[in-house]
Every structure is written in structure tokens, then in C-alpha cells.
Amino acid sequence: MTSVNPYLNFGGNSEEVLNFYAKVFHTQIAMMMRYGDSPGQENMPVEQKNALMHGSLPIGNTMLMVTDAFDTEHYKLNPGNNFSLSINTDSKEETDRIFSELSEGGSVQLKPENTFWGAYFGMCTDKFGVQWMLSFDEKRQN
């Protein structure tokens, strides 16, 4: 396992959050990807297209990650569920093993799969209510 990083969910102000934390911690935003940059965006409302699908900001040895989370049939943004722990793994096999063990007795939001951004990625909630994101990015291994 290469790292564990906090992943925070916001209701539409993730870019403001990143800019604020960049100023506070004297660092630079590493990445901002908008929902409008993803496949299927042609059917999204304009406000969702402009929202952040993923943003990241290095703070010391930690990468703070954020997203604008929208209410769906499977997810409602509430205090207490506005964060996940994001695990970067060393292989697909490690991703599958950890995901299987974490999701046992919990719930699966997204089984690990290859994504359009190039990572093997999955999301689950463990039996204690902690939300997890697991990601293997082969490009980072080389």
C-alpha cells in the first residue's frame, strides 16, 4: 500500500475549499477535474458540468482530495458522511483483496473497475460506516 489520504465531499464549493486551503497551507493545487470533462457529460446540467469531480492539494506528505458530491438514489450528502479515506494500492490484486475485506458486512457503492481516468478504482462503506475509496494507478508504479 502506498498511501492513505482524506477525501472530502462538498455540496458545490470544492474549488473554493481548495483555494482556501492552498492559501492557508502555502501550497499549490495539484489537480482540478470537472464533471464536464468526463464521459456522459453532454446530459449533465450546466451547474454540474462546472462542478469539481476531483481536486487535490498536497499538504506535507498528505494529498487532500475533494469533490462536489451530488445527491443520488445511492448517496445523500450529510454531516458525518462528507469524507472518505482514499487508499492508493500497489496492484489490482491488492485493491481487490482490501476492497473485499472492507466491504464485508458493509455496502458497495462501486466495485473495483478500470476507469476513464486510467485507474482501477472502487468505493465501499465498511460495517462501521467508514467510507473507503481504493485506487491502483499503474502509471504511478512505473
Question: Where does 1-125 have alpha helices with state H?
Answer: 14-24, 46-49, 92-103
**Does 115 fall in a domain?**
yes
Q: Judge if 64 and 111 occupy the same domain.
A: no
pLDDT at 140: 64
Identify whether residues 58 and 104 lie together within a single domain: no
Kindly state the average pLDDT of the residues 98-117: 93
63 and 2 in a common domain: yes
Report d(CA 27, CA 47) in Å as an integer. 27
Give a yes or no: residue 67 inside a domain. yes
CATH of the domain at 118: 3.10.180.10
For position 40, what pLDDT does the model report? Answer: 80
Report the phi/psi class of residue 105: left, alpha or beta, with left for phi > 0 and alpha for psi in -120 to 50.
left
One domain for residues 108 and 56: no
Please indicate, yes or no, whether residues 5 and 62 belong to a single structural domain of this protein: yes
**Is residue 55 domain-shared with residue 100, that is, in the same domain?**
no
How many residues would you count in the chain?
142
Identify the domain containing residue 32 by its residue range.
1-71
Q: What is the pLDDT of residue 142?
A: 46
Domain count within the chain = 2
Categorize the per-residue pLDDT at 34 as very low, low, confident or very high, splitting at 50, 70 and 90. Answer: very high
Pairing of β 62-68 and β 3-10: parallel
* Segment 116-131, tens digit of pLDDT: 889 999 999 888 788 8
Grid cell for residue 108: 458497495
CATH number at residue 13: 3.30.720.100
Give pLDDT tens digits for 49-97: 889 999 999 988 889 999 998 777 667 777 666 888 888 899 999 999 9
Other beta carbons less than 10 A from residue 81's beta carbon = 15
